[in-house]
Amino acid sequence: MSTQPLLCSRCQHAPRLPRQRWCRQCLTTAQRQRRAGQARDVSAAVTHAAIQAMPSVTQEPRQPALAPKAAHALQQYRALAVECERVRTQDWRRSPFSPGVVYDPLVRQLDALRRRCRELGIPPALLKE
């Protein structure tokens, strides 16, 4: 490895500043040019880019209003589905229960609620959420 200091990548004759690519003179000159350019840009006229057409936004079809019993059953179903997922992904190594003791009854309850929701006329698409 050479012990010579690296040269400025701009002027190629002065040593670089520590952890910089340029020497002090080139760095100062570049900063002054940048600041002068910013001052000119502030007074320059503003030009706008060509306006692009926005994609058309369509609303999703609204789901039909559910009867109060159906809405309540759907709410229970979704809450139990979240609980089933939480229990399914739980770390069972320190639990006094085996996963089958807790998870299997939840799955049976979820199936019963799914059947009840179908009986109440809730579309299957709403049950997948």
Count of CB atoms situated within 10 Å of the CB of 26: 19
* Cβ-proximal residues to 11 (8 Å cutoff; 6+ apart), any chain: 22, 23, 25, 26
Kindly report which listed range (9-18, 29-38, 45-54, 94-103) carries the lowest average pLDDT score.
45-54
Q: What is the pLDDT of residue 13?
A: 86
Under a CB-based contact definition with an 8 Å cutoff, are residues 23 and 14 in contact? yes
Q: For the chain, which residues make up each domain, given as ranges?
A: 1-41, 68-127
- Give the integer Cα–Cα distance in Å for 35 and 129: 55
Among 81, 63, 79, 77, which residue's Cα sits nearest to residue 119? 77
Is the confidence at residue 40, as pLDDT, over 60? yes
- Give the integer Cα–Cα distance in Å for 93 and 8: 61
Is the confidence at residue 67, as pLDDT, over 80? yes
